[in-house]
A and B are shown apart, each in its own frame.
Chain A
Amino acid sequence: MVKKIKNLKEFSLSNDRFEGANLMCPGCSHNIIVREVLNATNDPVIVATATGCLEVCTAVYPRTSWDVSWIHIGFENAAVAAATVAAAYEVMKRKGKLPPATQKMVDEGREPKIVAFAGDGGTYDIGFQSLSGAFERGHNFMYVCLDNEVYANTGGQRSSSTPIGASTTTSPAGAVSYGEKMQKKSMVEIMADHGAPYVAQVSPSKWKDLVKKVQKGFEVYGPVYINAQSACTTEWKHAPEDTIEVSDLGVESCVWPLYEIINERDEHGIIYSTKLNITYRPKQKIPVEEYLAAQPRFRHLFKPENRHIIDLWQKAVDARWEYLQRREEAGV
């Protein structure tokens, strides 16, 4: 059943199923994303969480911050845990062996939603093979990547999501280096190419866009991938109160474009139509420089010898925005 959320006031009637007094950093985006995802539905939710900040800080023995069914599993297999739950649920439903309380909800049209949360390390690098496998098998679940572009939990090592020029503990900026050398992997397209029915990129600062996409994802049958921008106060090194502003700058400068890809498939799994929609268009695209300047992890790029990296950034962002717009126009 789709929860009706017309505006923020209506959304604020939601009763949170994620509890406070967890040990996430002050101003962490992870919490905001988790809250928005869980509040997007009134149906029961089953959550699988890969190792990472979210898991470590919300389940410190002897306490839990989750009021939903929750599983913690290894760094590399959040997708498999969620896929297994989805598969088991379907068998139990077919055989009529669901617990009475669950059965009652299913009869009311409130099917349980299965969500996997993982960080970018557990998605882009370590968890990729199990994520790819689960998407290929086509289980009915949602995978939310909390993308803070760094291994924040273990001390800020680079991941394959870290963008070029960022200073991390394993790609430190200094006299000889401008920081991370590689471009960021475009995970959304990779997951869309698995043939997933719905794939989207979201930012917590655009809450309505996020909730709409999550609701859409819950409605389709099959694996859904959501890539969520998660500004990290500790590793992006901005002040805790600037979390929303930094996220907004990312969206407004098109560094973090908000879009979705819908793959329509026939009963044999053949994709007959692919559509890319840009769901948010900045009224005035701001220069990437402003986004970079808001985060001290890019501070060294403003030295004269590193200015060329900023130009590179702008070029890459413009090219990508152009690519997305062309795809949307062509309807592919």
Chain B
Amino acid sequence: MARDMKHIDVEEIKDLGWDELIPGAALFSFKEPVEDVVEVPMEERPYAPTNSHEWQVGDWRVEKPVFNRDLCIDCQFCWVFCPDISILSRDKKMIGVIYEHCKGCGICVEVCPTNPKSLLMFPEHMDNEEALKQWPQKEEKKKD
């Protein structure tokens, strides 16, 4: 019998395999209808367990980007070029990295224009506060 995907809980969905396809099932993005998605920020959306937002790919990473608020100029380059919607930006301010969704590609570090960079890659096992302590100093411009 076809079951409504809405009434399946998260644990059950995690256990679903390809062989357990539910006939007639639809994958919903939200638990309840959202009138205007563009008006609702990520934190306030009623995500359904079948939305990939509720999952995580953070374990793909070997290195993680660490964000240094003191150096950031809020240029938003990292926000626009992040392929995984992992840069959290609110009210034109960069807030931080969503580690559940970050695959560790390093684009944000590459496009960061500050000197020294306000985003840097550190080993996954390192504590963020420890990483901030090891932040490099400003590089002097080389004179040709």
- Interface residues of chain A, those whose CB is within 8 Å of chain B, are 8-32, 35-36, 42, 58-59, 61-68, 101, 105, 204-205, 207, 233, 239-245
Q: Which residues of A contact B71 (CB under 8 A)?
A: none
Q: Which residues of B contact A205 (CB under 8 A)?
A: 81
Give B22's nearest chain A residue, CB to CB.
A62
Q: Which residues of A contact B77 (CB under 8 A)?
A: 8
- Shortest distance from the beta carbon of A45 to any chain B beta carbon, whole Å: 9
Compute how far the CA of A70 lies from the CA of B63 in the bound complex, rounded to whole angstroms: 33
The reply to whether A14 and B52 contact each other, CB–CB distance below 8 Å, is no
Q: Is B106 an interface residue (CB 8 A)?
A: yes
Compute how far the CA of A298 lies from the CA of B73 in the bound complex, rounded to whole angstroms: 37
The reply to whether B76 and A12 contact each other, CB–CB distance below 8 Å, is yes
- Shortest distance from the beta carbon of A281 to any chain B beta carbon, whole Å: 22
The reply to whether A61 and B18 contact each other, CB–CB distance below 8 Å, is yes
Q: Is B16 an interface residue (CB 8 A)?
A: yes
Give A65's nearest chain B residue, CB to CB.
B52
Give B91's nearest chain A residue, CB to CB.
A13
Q: Which residues of B contact A233 (CB under 8 A)?
A: 105
Which B36-90 residues sit within 8 Å CB-CB of chain A? Answer: 36-42, 45, 50-57, 60, 74-77, 79-86, 89
Compute how far the CA of A58 lies from the CA of B70 in the bound complex, rounded to whole angstroms: 35
- Shortest distance from the beta carbon of A201 to any chain B beta carbon, whole Å: 19
The reply to whether B106 and A19 contact each other, CB–CB distance below 8 Å, is no
- Shortest distance from the beta carbon of A31 to any chain B beta carbon, whole Å: 4
The reply to whether B110 and A20 contact each other, CB–CB distance below 8 Å, is no
The reply to whether A13 and B57 contact each other, CB–CB distance below 8 Å, is no
- Interface residues of chain B, those whose CB is within 8 Å of chain A, are 5, 13, 16, 18, 21, 25, 27-30, 34-42, 45, 50-57, 60, 74-77, 79-86, 89, 91-92, 98, 100-101, 103-107, 109-111
The reply to whether A64 and B80 contact each other, CB–CB distance below 8 Å, is no
The reply to whether B50 and A19 contact each other, CB–CB distance below 8 Å, is no
Residue pairs across A and B with Cβ atoms less than 8 A apart, 8 shown, are: A10-B92, A15-B38, A21-B57, A32-B80, A32-B83, A64-B28, A66-B29, A207-B80
A15's partner among B40, B50, B75 (CB-CB below 8 A) is B40
Q: Which residues of B contact A204 (CB under 8 A)?
A: 81
A36's partner among B21, B75, B80, B100 (CB-CB below 8 A) is B80
Q: Which residues of A contact B60 (CB under 8 A)?
A: 26
Compute how far the CA of A25 lies from the CA of B103 in the bound complex, rounded to whole angstroms: 8
The reply to whether A64 and B83 contact each other, CB–CB distance below 8 Å, is no
Give B55's nearest chain A residue, CB to CB.
A21
A-B contact count (CB 8 A): 148
Compute how far the CA of A322 lies from the CA of B55 in the bound complex, rounded to whole angstroms: 49
The reply to whether B105 and A27 contact each other, CB–CB distance below 8 Å, is yes
The reply to whether A20 and B89 contact each other, CB–CB distance below 8 Å, is no
Given A9-B76, A31-B83, A243-B107, output 19 extra A-B contacts at Cβ < 8 Å.
A12-B80, A12-B89, A14-B38, A15-B40, A19-B52, A20-B52, A20-B100, A21-B100, A26-B83, A26-B104, A27-B103, A32-B81, A35-B85, A36-B80, A64-B51, A67-B45, A67-B51, A240-B106, A241-B109
- Shortest distance from the beta carbon of B102 to any chain A beta carbon, whole Å: 8
Known A12-B80, A26-B105: A21·B38 in contact at CB below 8 Å: no
B50's partner among A8, A27, A58, A64 (CB-CB below 8 A) is A64
Known A23-B57, A243-B105: A62·B16 in contact at CB below 8 Å: yes
Compute how far the CA of A11 lies from the CA of B38 in the bound complex, rounded to whole angstroms: 13
The reply to whether B80 and A15 contact each other, CB–CB distance below 8 Å, is no
Give A23's nearest chain B residue, CB to CB.
B57
Q: Which residues of B contact A31 (CB under 8 A)?
A: 83-85
Give A241's nearest chain B residue, CB to CB.
B106
Compute how far the CA of A21 lies from the CA of B29 in the bound complex, rounded to whole angstroms: 13
Known A20-B53, A20-B101, A35-B85: A15·B74 in contact at CB below 8 Å: no
The reply to whether A16 and B27 contact each other, CB–CB distance below 8 Å, is no
Compute how far the CA of A21 lies from the CA of B91 in the bound complex, rounded to whole angstroms: 24
The reply to whether A242 and B29 contact each other, CB–CB distance below 8 Å, is no
Compute how far the CA of A91 lies from the CA of B60 in the bound complex, rounded to whole angstroms: 46
